[in-house]
Amino acid sequence: MAYIIGVDIGTTSVKTILYDNNGKIIESANLGYPLYQDTPDMAEEDPDDIFSAVTNGINTVMRKSKIAANSLKGVSFSCAMHSLILLDKNKKALTRAITWADNRSAKYAEQLKQSDLGLKLYKNTGTPIHAMTPLSKIIWLKNEKSELYKETKYFIGIKEYIINKLFGVLKVDYSIANATGLFNIFNLDWDKDALALTGLKKENLPELVDTTYKLKGLKKEYAKVIGINPKTPFIIGASDGPLANLGVNAIEPGVLAITIGTSGAVRMVSKKPRIDPKGRVFCYYLAKDMWVIGGPVNNGGIIFKWIRDQLCLPEKVTAEQMHINPYSLLTTIASKVPAGSDGLLFHPFLGGERAPIWDSNARGSYFGLNQMHTRAHMIRAALEGIVFNLYTVSLALEEVLGTPIKIQATGGFVNSNLTRQMLSDIFEQNVTIPDSVEGTALGAATLGMYSLGMINELSDVKNFVHSNNTYTPIKENVDVYRELSSIYIRLSRQLMTEYDQIAAFQRKHSRIR
């Protein structure tokens, strides 16, 4: 038997999974690390913590599985997008990893977004102009931390940091590069306008390689620590969003992947890079002739968590006393209310929002409250609001790629029958829930197998992804949601003009920032 390891470097943890060549999980490890938030808009991680989680993760699955070192054919990486680390001329880190969630460049991102250059950059890089991107972060550093900026020789991300430590080379795959906002999706090279704007030259960035690129020459000291043969090739892999599509077998045109964990995303694959004239969706590289187009939302399961903790504390306590999962109790309560929550609507923008409105000042609201509404209505309306929001992202995506034909859904939010059926009813599509929850690591492993010739086509992933769980739309619910979603969208447009005002008020008067 031959084996491969998929390493998924996430925002909160590294998931390391050992698969056999049939895509079966043999062993796994999940190692977390802290997020540093000295100020509310900061979100950094120590790259050496992440490096340790990667090496310990591989070591753990090798040790636990007891497979022979020679039967491990490769290690392949997925990584969270948009991180930035500054290195000096000796490749020493000058900063921690500034993650996608870091918002300190918001002012510069907003200015750029309002300019013609902003739109041109989006159209050439496929990356929405936003504080999450290294492009915005570099502009912020150049303006506000100029000493640090001047001292910096290399601008890299977390995956490149790890690869440099293991192999002593600075290389970045097209997929991670794509998400920096500095990469031209039409010529697969660093974008000249983005370089000019940030003041960077190509030599300040890692060398670009395809996502199937094999790294060889693992440093002996690390091979020993990790417990693998130093000749084992590492496949550079891609970023987590595109690999999630691969790992749930959503790579055929028309198959929509929906992930709803803490945050969420909807994505679909296209043979060619495509952009949205209105700048609402991203276009990220997965592999040759495979581009993943979609939109990320901030407000996924985190909203349900807020409902659990702020609105439903009594239910949470009861659930804990009864030793049942509070989310399960809340979905049971919500399922007593009919689809459409008797006309109560919820806009879930508690954390500002990325796609489809791209407005960090957006705020949440209940609309349509009357005296008949109960807490159960408020729970259900919040769940429906999360799904309506994702549905509006898919409408933007439809304008670029056409109507989807089916949906593959993953993430903690689709752990209940209620939310699965809600997705099917609001999207008016069949929704399939794949058995394996770790789609991203499987995506990395599949890309690695393809690079190593262990499978012939990326579409062979269909042999690895199984499911017996498909939900079909219920006609009465569809009718209700169709009527309600048009109110949701109209209202959303009207509220947009007020978000700046209320956010400014909150910044000025609120004790809670």
Give me the phi and psi of 5, to 5 degrees please.
-110, 130
Is 97 or 449 the residue whose CB approaches ligand ADP more closely?
97
Among 212, 419, 429, 440, binds ligand ADP (CB under 6 A): 419
* Binding of residue 328 to ligand ADP (CB under 6 A): yes
* Binding of residue 436 to ligand ADP (CB under 6 A): no
Least Cβ distance, residue 312 to ligand ADP (angstroms): 12
* Binding of residue 262 to ligand ADP (CB under 6 A): yes
Tokens 């690695």 correspond to 448
* Binding of residue 59 to ligand ADP (CB under 6 A): no
Residue 400 contacts residue 276 (beta carbons within 8 Å) = yes
Least Cβ distance, residue 10 to ligand ADP (angstroms): 7
Cα distance between residue 169 and residue 163, in whole Å: 7
Is 233 or 261 the residue whose CB approaches ligand ADP more closely?
261
* Binding of residue 261 to ligand ADP (CB under 6 A): yes
Least Cβ distance, residue 110 to ligand ADP (angstroms): 26
Is 109 or 334 the residue whose CB approaches ligand ADP more closely?
334
Site for ligand ADP in 140-179 (CB under 6 A): none
Cis upstream peptide for 356 (omega within 30°): yes
Number of chain positions touching ligand ADP (CB under 6 A)? 15
**Interacting stretch for ligand ADP, rule CB under 6 A, among 39-47, 68-76, 302-310, 499-507?**
302-310
* Binding of residue 364 to ligand ADP (CB under 6 A): no
Please report the beta strands in 191-263, taking only residues with DSSP state E, as ranges in sequence order: 207-209, 214-215, 234-239, 255-260
Is 313 or 504 the residue whose CB approaches ligand ADP more closely?
313
Cα distance between residue 440 and residue 12, in whole Å: 14
Strand 3-9 and strand 13-20: pairing? antiparallel
Q: Which two tokens stand for residue 87?
A: 């290195």
Cα distance between residue 458 and residue 273, in whole Å: 18
Cα distance between residue 470 and residue 413, in whole Å: 16
* Binding of residue 413 to ligand ADP (CB under 6 A): yes
* Binding of residue 434 to ligand ADP (CB under 6 A): no
Torsion of Cα atoms, 462 then 464 then 468 then 472, to 10°: -40
Residue 225 contacts residue 232 (beta carbons within 8 Å) = no
* Binding of residue 389 to ligand ADP (CB under 6 A): no
Give the binding site for ligand ADP (CB under 6 A): 261-262, 301-302, 304-305, 327-328, 331, 411-413, 415-416, 419
